[in-house]
């Protein structure tokens, strides 16, 4: 694979996707500490939001230790060269949240929908574009539909004003060929100036391999997370990704040793549990379930005595999408009833 000289933007997820394994309880001080370490490593873009995006604070997904506004403001003020992004899922967050985040100083808004539902993102992408933000359309659970169907949805987001489209492997299900097919088709059919990105989860240990496949097929933005802190088995480990890209001669502008320091000395110490490729997260990737279901399934196991990986399998079989956390307790209750 020759990606020599390619300019790649790496985007850190530890302070947004990493909120999932931390039950949204990362403190402002921890965020500032990690953001400063990422800034020192010259990570260009850092995402800061509730794990489920702006407005995600809820009984259903978890109440965070602080508001999105407090987190974003603190990180924006802590960094010197890094920019800050926020995530927004229409149906959870609204344009009011987007305006708030813009006032706090984000440079990038990423508007996320399930991969078949791009047309709920029009008002948010329109507004982000109008406000002059770097506006990204983020198509989640992209393994569930064909490359042609992804393209159709990507075109909608592009038409609303997104300057970058993400193929998002929320379940960590994809294998490199799946990524190649999708990104290559998007690259061939979307406007040449539209950037492409890939967001991976490491549930099948494919984070780095999938990201490389995406780059080879035409993506120039890659999401990862320092120390992998993210839902499921975590995101693509950002320090590993940066090191691989360095060896391959791609340009990220990142100081890879400082990024290793950020991961090792700043992110790792805050982890509630090691983020690793456990049986549960492997099942997420193998069967194709949304990565942030993991902790909910574990809680249901503790309460109802049903194995969490079986709950996750059932969630995958029912073709659930991101946001359906409320079904997990029901499934556990049903399974417990059947067993007794």
Partner 1 sequence: MSKKFKAAIIGPGNIGTDLLMKCLRSDIIEPVWMVGIEESAGIKRAQEYGLRVSTDGVDGLVAAFAEAPVDFAFDATSAYVHAENSRKLNELGVMMIDLTPAAIGPYCVPPVNLDSIMADTPKDNVNMVTCGGQATIPLVASVSRVQAVAYAEIVATVASKSVGMGTRDNIDEFTRTTSAAIAQVGGADEGKAIIVINPAEPPLIMRDTVHCLTKEPADAEAITASVKEMVKEVQTYVPGYRLLNDPIIDGTRVTITVEVEGLGDFLPKYAGNLDIMTAAGLKTAEMIARRKLAAG
Instruction: Considering only the stretches 90-98, 216-224, 243-251, 270-278, report the one whose residues sit in contact with partner 1 under the rule CB under 8 A.
Output: 90-98
Q: Work out which of 206, 267, 295, 321 binds partner 1, going by CB under 8 A.
A: 321
Determine the Cα–Cα distance for residues 251 and 267; give it in Å rounded to an integer: 24
Least distance CB 121 / partner 1 (angstroms): 9
Q: Work out which of 41, 92, 154, 250 binds partner 1, going by CB under 8 A.
A: 92
- Given a contact cutoff of 8 angstroms between Cβ atoms, the answer to whether 270 and 302 are in contact is no
Binding mask 45-74 for partner 1 (x = CB under 8 A): -------------xxx--------------
Closest among 243, 168, 173 to 202, alpha carbons compared: 173
Which residues are CB-neighbours of 152 under 8 A, at least 6 positions away?
Answer: none
**Other Cβ atoms within 10 Å of 162 Cβ, number:** 29
| DSSP 8-state class, residue 27 | -
| DSSP 8-state class, residue 12 | E
Q: Work out which of 95, 205, 248, 287 binds partner 1, going by CB under 8 A.
A: 95
**Other Cβ atoms within 10 Å of 334 Cβ, number:** 14
Residue 119 in contact with partner 1, rule: CB under 8 A: yes
199 among known catalytic residues: no
Residue 336 in contact with partner 1, rule: CB under 8 A: no
| Number of residues near partner 1 (by CB under 8 A) | 28
Rg (the chain; Cα; Å): 18
Q: Work out which of 107, 310, 324, 335 binds partner 1, going by CB under 8 A.
A: 324
54 or 184: whose CB is closer to partner 1? Answer: 54
Q: Work out which of 120, 175, 209, 248 binds partner 1, going by CB under 8 A.
A: 120
Determine the Cα–Cα distance for residues 287 and 150; give it in Å rounded to an integer: 20
| DSSP H or E segment with residue 85 | strand 83-88
Residues that bind partner 1 (CB under 8 A): 58-60, 90-92, 94-96, 114, 116-117, 119-120, 122-123, 318-324, 326-327, 329-330, 333
Positions annotated as catalytic residues are 20
């Amino acid at each position: 694979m020759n990606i020599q000289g390619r300019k790649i933007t790496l985007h850190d997820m530890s302070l947004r996707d990493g909120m999932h394994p931390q039950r949204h309880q990362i403190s402002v001080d921890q965020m500032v500490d990690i953001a400063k370490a990422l800034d020192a490593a010259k990570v260009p873009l850092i995402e800061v939001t509730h794990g489920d995006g702006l407005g995600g604070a809820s009984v259903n997904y978890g109440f965070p230790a602080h508001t999105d506004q407090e987190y974003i403001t603190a990180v924006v003020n802590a960094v010197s060269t890094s920019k800050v992004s926020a995530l927004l899922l229409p149906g959870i967050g609204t344009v009011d949240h987007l305006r708030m985040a813009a006032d706090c100083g984000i440079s990038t808004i990423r508007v996320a929908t399930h991969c078949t539902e791009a047309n709920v993102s029009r008002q948010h992408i329109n507004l982000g574009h109008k406000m002059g933000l770097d506006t990204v359309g983020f198509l989640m659970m992209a393994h569930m539909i064909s490359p042609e169907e992804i393209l159709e949805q990507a075109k909608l987001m592009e038409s609303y004003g997104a300057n970058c489209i993400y193929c998002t492997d929320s379940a960590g299900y994809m294998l490199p060929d799946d990524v190649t097919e999708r990104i290559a088709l998007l690259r061939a059919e979307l406007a040449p100036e539209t950037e492409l990105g890939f967001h991976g989860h490491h549930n099948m240990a494919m984070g780095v391999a999938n990201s490389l496949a995406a780059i080879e097929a035409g993506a120039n933005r890659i999401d990862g997370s320092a120390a992998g802190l993210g839902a499921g088995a975590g995101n693509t480990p950002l320090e590993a990704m940066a090191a691989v890209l360095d060896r391959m001669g791609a340009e990220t502008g990142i100081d890879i040793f400082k990024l290793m320091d950020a991961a090792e000395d700043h992110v790792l110490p805050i982890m509630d549990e090691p983020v690793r490729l456990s049986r549960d997260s492997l099942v997420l990737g193998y069967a194709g379930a949304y990565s942030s279901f993991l902790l909910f399934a574990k809680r249901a196991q503790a309460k109802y005595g049903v194995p969490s990986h079986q709950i996750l399998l059932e969630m995958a079989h029912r073709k659930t999408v991101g946001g359906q956390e409320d079904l997990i307790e029901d499934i556990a209750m049903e399974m417990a009833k059947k067993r007794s």
